[in-house]
Structure 1
């Protein structure tokens, strides 16, 4: 049976949702713009202008937009987004100024101004003085994304209504008709009579929600206050998520009343905040900590029932300690990832917090009416609509929960393309994708987001450059493409990516040493294999591991090239793989131990590339048989590379040991309260504040993700090794099924295919069954104790005597 058929309440709220979810209603007209000729990413000397240095690029940019009114509306609200500092004039009247803390995690903000009586009939002029923001980390990406990263975007929108009336008609929005200049020579630029006709028109990046790049890497986390902005692609959906409990309350200079209403669908009385001090400090203001019961990707939603505007501060956390943290230290070790953020809630209106991943939210009630009732405080999950075509259920409740959590973890990362994580980095990473693809294909059978992610990764990588700036990730792009093709059989898609494939193979070829046939130690790109000592940076193991990742990609490339009709290149890379394998075997294998060093990671990759199959028993007995974490001497490994360790254990015939390691390692996260699987984990790390102890990027802290797609491999592993289903030709035209209970009493589930799910049911005391959908031309079923496989050539329900 599939996961969706289980009688247990599903972990993923999308499985239990009765509607299709809210979609993005309409595209917004306003555009992100910047001063033409002064875009950092287009400068040859852009490396001198780091996004991270707050004291760089402090020029004052002036933006002017004209609009005509036939009549003057009674109310008007202006919204400004982008700059860290803005001083705003309408028809020469100062509306106000605002600034953000450039050291804060989010310094890209939305400001709003009541235009009062500044509007007039006829020609109106909006003039804004702005300073670019600090920007955000963007990793690899498009030019538009990097421009966003440098903080060089500006947007304005003036609505003919009060704050909170998002449906009011726009009077003016930023577009390519605006004019802008940096460092004006005259000081009357704010005057409506000033002649700006000689100023150049702005450079437009397009609609603020019209480019998927604007939603990568948390660059738009500060856009939550923009009217009508949903922050999600048209293919995503939003569903409401109720809080399950309020874990902490503090009345301070006020009182929290009917707190229980937050978790009740039909509360007798609404949750209400009374403020006894008109402007309490953050320390004095009433506050509470809300728990949504599980990791979600989305944002907080506040529905006010007050006739006055209110101001709250909110802080997200993937656990309680992150949500309660207020400080920031180097590496964000002790601070919550997006910091503490102000949220303006309109009278009788709705406000949304920033997008991120969280379970807990700390809410502090700062300003508003003396008595503020709330219609609702809930979360809005942003989700990619999927169907759980694949599933797994067995006699081991721990494994069942591991499967569900792994599948949910991958689903959380299916956002505006496939991300590494919904909290950080919220970006496309080819290495993470190599693991995520197996989960997404086996559980959901979805290819759209995977194909779109691969396409963007390739398009954003210049010739000769490594994908994501990491040599091994160029190889992982190719192995992920191979997984997608194997599962989908989509020849047209492979052909559409032929040029990208050849470009990335050429980049890999250019990184090889002509003499040795191995990866050059000075090749372009940062060295990364895993977040473990000695496996990133310029180390011997990083060199060996990256070379074997190259070999794995060269092995996968010929089938892709043949699908694209490029037989000559296919033969070329078959030879290249053979040459590299021989060189790596000669250089890397220890002739005494018959292993490749001592690390679990490198030896696993040696097994998976068939470096020396005759030495797999030695690799097992001397290295992989000792995978554990209960002494200080045991090795460090991330959930990411544990995926390849599991596969290497299986390839050496030790599936039972791999299953036990899943129970121990991934089960360890469950024992520590995980509702999704983490970016990093070690069974020996401290348990009192486990999130603070998670290590990645050479440091540790709350910034490390509690939901990371590269930790989802147990789901496809269980499908492939217990249910035993594997494609043997592209698109599941043919399959091999090697069912194996591995000590379980029973196991049943399914694997997604383009033809529908293959369902397998195993029981140590009953007949075994399999349902084969139409479209699968041939299935070989290898039953334990049988010398020859059963050959199936027709769809339907099959029953086999219990082995």
Structure 2
């Protein structure tokens, strides 16, 4: 992890000829780091005639054009061949590209085409209606001129692979460097997780990194597509942030943004459940960070929102309007959506009541509690749906063991990367920790087996059958896993391969295997009860406003767990 950069205010770095107050300035607290490619995946010519000295790009650069004009990559076109190559930067990143050129024979700009891809196949694809490649939200396929003997920085998207093509006939391009511009929040991983299973360790870290890529100016869904604040999708991300990074201003900044652009009675993002998720995230944020000042700032929106939600309950049953949504796989299943929204309403009003009591809004709290009591008399059928069963169990509307029976049918069949988190939570509530651990290994681990370095918008283990990896050119006879699957808004190559809502195992492993439960706001009291399942040991750290808690659990020969816990002053530990 790179060290935290020291930033000064934007106003302080302006030259003295700029007068204070003449300009609106905003400090960008993200870091920009240049990365050298790790390998050349493919090039159009291996003879050296059209693409020569490409391995030069794998050497560390300095971003500076030079008059020396030696040891450069040479691309040449003629009527028979267009020169191109594909680079791999080793891991999905967010950012753009830096190109440094030499002195071509013609003292003029040279036209190139650049294609960014989260997979090899996306970087090699055309934008058309066949494979789903798009320029939505971020331009990933474009043609531009690069300078003669100069440097150019381009692009702003999520990617791992870059293809560069020389465009014009009889053209020549001399390249000194092609480096990735990695733009990210340079923040320490205060939370950690290490167990006797390296697969779980990698899954925990991949979930954390997926969320870090989406912690940009605001908290996004994906750095390639859905570079937007979708407040419902934020919930798994916020839980990961709480467990890995501790407090980060991207969370309240994003919650404030969506509040400010959604005057009541409108629903956030046009989705009624997403306004409920806003309430639930506020409760999670207060529970983990204990920032009463910030919570008080939400009161004038929170209380009317809770009253709006309660107005949508008829005879104990939710009657929400707006887009009725849990996740995409359940979108067309109206009975399942109703069951999920009923559970969401119960959990939201419970959270709202808790927050209102903290804020001294006792009448609203009592109204929430009365409404919940009425809603508990109306328990919809989960209709065999895993998403609905999970939420019903978490809302105490369905016995957790009964929900686990539904969730366990076919193991990870019908899991989604978003609601898979709540399926894991329901399994934990049922005491089926080993089953959840196995699901994490199989489902999220399956993405890693296909070459993923971040977790995807959606996934199905069936996609792996006879599929090629995302970091390879497609072998003959194999299925292109990125270009062949997906549905709804994420069809084929439009599918995001870095989606923060898929990070659920990271916070789940910390909460249930490392065993950390926040009992009082601001982490003043933590209950630590490990569930190692088949693991021999687990150790890690957990961030609190008072400092980091260090934890290690070891399974002894007799099956008992030996725990060592070191907590900072101000944090009380309850051992389970």
TM range (shorter): 0.7 to 0.9
More displaced stretch, 342-351 vs 702-711: 342-351
Map 1:679-698 to 2 at 5 A: 679-685=457-463, 686=465, 687=467, 688-697=479-488
With over 3 angstroms needed to count, the CA separation of the structure-2 counterparts of 1:545 and 1:767, relative to structure 1, is closer
* Map of 1:194 onto structure 2: none
Query: SS of the counterpart of 1:525?
Result: coil
The whole-number CA distance in structure 2 between the counterparts of 1:26 and 1:426 is 28
| Separation (CA, whole Å) in 2 of partners of 1:718 and 1:379 | 32
Inter-CA distance 414–694: structure 2 relative to 1 (3 Å threshold) = farther
Corresponding position of 1:329: 129
State the match for 2:390 in structure 1. 604
Aligned mates of 1:366, 1:529 — CA distance in 2? 45
**Cα-to-partner distance string for 1:149-180 (whole Å, 9 max, x where unaligned):** xxxxxxxxxxxxxxxxxx9x99xxxxxxxxxx
Q: Which runs of 5+ in 2 are unaligned?
A: 63-68, 468-478
Match runs of 1:669-680 below 5 Å: 669-680=447-458
Q: Which residue of 1 aligns with 2:491?
A: 700
Q: 1:457 to 1:560 in 2, by over 3 A?
A: same
Matched, 1:468 2:254: no
Aligned partner of 1:753 in structure 2 is 544
Q: Does 1:418 align with 2:219?
A: yes
Deviation of the 1:375 alpha carbon: 2.9
Contact 2:391–2:422, Cα closer than 8 Å, also in 1: yes
Which of the numbers 166, 191, 201 marks the counterpart of 1:400?
201
In the alignment, structure 1 residue 20 sits paired with structure 2 residue 5 = yes
Change (3 A) 1:18 1:501: closer
TM-score, normalization: structure 2? 0.88
Please give the secondary structure, in 2, of the residue aligned with 1:463: coil
| Aligned mate of 1:449, from 250, 253, 261 | 250
Q: CA deviation at 1:374?
A: 2.5
Selected match of 1:738 from 520, 529, 532: 529
**Secondary structure in 2 matching 1:238:** strand
Does the alignment pair 1:651 with 2:456? no
Q: CA deviation at 1:286?
A: 1.0
Deviation at 1:364, TM superposition (A): 0.9
Q: Which has the higher contact order (CA 8 A, sep 6+)?
A: 2
Q: 1:234 aligns with which of 21, 25, 28?
A: 28
User: Helix, strand or coil: the match of 1:354?
Assistant: strand
Residue equivalent to 1:764 = 555
For residues 289-317 of structure 1, what are the alpha-carbon distances to aligned partners after superposition, in whole Å with 9 as ceiling and x for unaligned? Answer: 01111111111111223364222110111
Aligned counterpart for 1:618 among listed residues 392, 396, 402: 402
- Give the aligned CA root-mean-square deviation in angstroms: 2.9
- Name stretches of at least 5 consecutive residues in structure 1 with no aligned partner: 1-14, 30-166, 171-205, 212-232, 590-595, 783-803
* 3-state secondary structure, aligned to 1:293: strand
1:240/1:658 Cα in 2 relative to 1: closer, same or farther (>3 Å)? same
Q: Is the 8 A contact 2:386 2:407 kept in 1?
A: yes
1:67-114 deviation line (CA, Å, top 9, x unaligned): xxxxxxxxxxxxxxxxxxxxxxxxxxxxxxxxxxxxxxxxxxxxxxxx
SS of 1:410's partner is: helix
Asked if the contact 1:297/1:355 (under 8 Å) is kept, the reply is yes
* Conserved? CA contact 1:445–1:753, under 8 Å: yes
**Structure 1 residue 774, shift from structure 2 partner:** 1.2
Q: 2:236 aligns with which of 435, 443, 446?
A: 435
- 1:246 corresponds in structure 2 to 40
Instruction: Describe how 1:356-395 pairs up with structure 2 within 5 A.
Output: 356-366=157-167, 371-395=172-196
Alpha carbons 2:272, 2:321 under 8 Å: kept: yes
SS of the residue 2:259 aligns to? helix
CA distance in 2, matches of 1:736, 1:276: 66
| Post-superposition offset of 1:538 | 7.3
Q: For the structure 1 residues 276 and 439, does the alpha-carbon distance in structure 2 shift closer, same or farther, using more than 3 Å as the test? A: closer
Residues 345 and 26 of structure 1, relative CA distance in 2, 3 Å threshold: farther
Is the Cα contact below 8 Å between 2:77 and 2:166 reproduced in 1? no
Residue 478 of structure 1 pairs with residue 272 of structure 2: no
2:54 paired residue among 259, 264, 267: 259
Aligned to 1:779: 573
Task: Kindly state the Cα deviation for residue 328 of structure 1 after the two structures are TM-superposed.
Answer: 1.1
8 A contact 1:393–1:400 mirrored in 2? yes
Distance 1:570 1:364, change over 3 A: same
Distance in 1 separating the partners of 2:270 and 2:259: 12
The structure with the larger Rg is 1
Query: Structure 1 residues 774, 369: closer, same or farther in 2, change over 3 A?
Result: farther
Q: State the shift of 1:210 in Å.
A: 5.9
CA distance in 1, matches of 2:171, 2:541: 57
User: What secondary structure is seen at the aligned counterpart in 2 of 1:439?
Assistant: helix
1:531 match: 328
For 1:492 and 1:528, the matched residues in 2 are separated by 32
Conserved in 1, the CA contact under 8 Å of 2:117 and 2:140? no
Q: Distance in 2 between matches of 1:491 and 1:610?
A: 28
